[in-house]
């Protein structure tokens, strides 16, 4: 069997959904961006949100920024794989583009909270690999929220009050990574991606690949 044939067969495999969750400020979005930059075969799942874009964010790249009315309409029509209201703003994952990419054998990365993880695991249980990112300490989490200089002090206070509630769900995830240092955290998650892709049940081309050894005997 030629290398081209093997690759063609591999394309028929359904993709993997890599879910990243964390309390706000733990580095989830930064890590997701770094992974997308280093992993060309990892596609972003672009969420919808009703919040306003931050200075560095672009519509259609970081989020689809929509109105509260449009968000409610998508929820009602069942167009979202998961959705939640966080700090008064709606967040959700559009269903159609995710299903399309998975059916094409492409891997996706999701930047969602623990509520989204619970919902999406019910919908796509066989495709989910979930990773919870922890900060080194609550003090460091607060420092990081202040350093990103995009949240009002009252919003930072709200996020800190919410942090322990979010951290309580750490044991619902397949993996936990403590983000002491960004580069190390990214490397650890890259290792998870590689190992999950190499699991026997995900490499569906293997029976045909092994068969050629007996043919060549």
193 half-sphere exposure, CB direction, 13 A CA radius: 24
**Per-residue pLDDT reduced to its tens digit, 94-127:** 999 999 998 888 899 998 889 889 999 988 888 8
pLDDT for residue 81 is more than 80? yes
Determine, yes or no, domain membership for 130: yes
Phi then psi dihedrals of residue 197, to 5 deg: -65, -25
The answer, as to whether pTM is greater than 0.75, is yes
CATH number of the domain residue 125 falls in: 3.40.50.300
Determine, yes or no, domain membership for 32: yes
Within 10 angstroms of residue 207's Cβ, the number of other Cβ atoms is 9
Q: Tell which phi-psi region holds residue 21, choosing left (phi > 0), alpha (psi between -120 and 50) or beta.
A: beta
Determine, yes or no, domain membership for 63: no
> Cα angle vertex 92, ends 86, 96, to 5°?
175
Q: How many domains does the chain have?
A: 1
**Per-residue pLDDT reduced to its tens digit, 5-25:** 444 444 456 789 999 999 988
Per the structure, the complete domain to which residue 21 belongs is given by 3-45+107-216
Question: What per-residue confidence (pLDDT) applies to 1?
Answer: 41
pLDDT band at residue 3 using 50, 70 and 90 as cut-offs: very low
Determine, yes or no, domain membership for 93: no
Within 10 angstroms of residue 133's Cβ, the number of other Cβ atoms is 24
pLDDT for residue 195 is more than 70? yes
Determine, yes or no, domain membership for 95: no
Q: Could you tell me which residue, 145 or 7, shows the higher pLDDT?
A: 145
pLDDT for residue 29 is more than 60? yes
pLDDT band at residue 34 using 50, 70 and 90 as cut-offs: very high
In 3D, which of 160, 80, 70, 164 has the Cα closest to residue 116?
A: 80
Question: What per-residue confidence (pLDDT) applies to 191?
Answer: 95
């Amino acid at each position: 069997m030629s290398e081209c044939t093997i690759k063609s067969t591999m394309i028929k495999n359904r993709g993997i959904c890599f879910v990243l969750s964390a309390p706000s400020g733990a580095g989830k979005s930064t890590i997701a961006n770094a992974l997308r930059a280093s992993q060309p075969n990892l596609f972003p799942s672009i969420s919808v949100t009703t919040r306003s874009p931050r200075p560095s964010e672009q519509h259609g790249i970081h989020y689809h920024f929509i109105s509260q009315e449009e968000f409610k309409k998508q929820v009602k029509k069942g167009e979202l794989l998961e959705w939640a209201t966080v700090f008064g703003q709606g967040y959700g994952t559009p269903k159609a583009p995710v299903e399309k990419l998975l059916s094409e054998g492409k891997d996706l990365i999701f930047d969602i909270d623990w509520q989204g993880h619970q919902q999406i695991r019910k919908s796509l249980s066989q495709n989910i690999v979930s990773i919870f990112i922890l900060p080194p300490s609550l003090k460091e989490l607060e420092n990081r929220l202040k350093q990103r200089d995009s949240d009002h002090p009252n919003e930072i206070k709200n996020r800190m009050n919410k942090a322990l509630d979010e951290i309580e769900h750490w044991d619902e995830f397949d993996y936990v990574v403590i983000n002491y240092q960004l580069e190390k955290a990214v490397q650890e998650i890259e290792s998870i991606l590689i190992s999950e892709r190499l699991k026997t049940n995900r490499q569906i081309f293997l029976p045909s690949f092994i068969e050629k050894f007996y043919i060549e005997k």
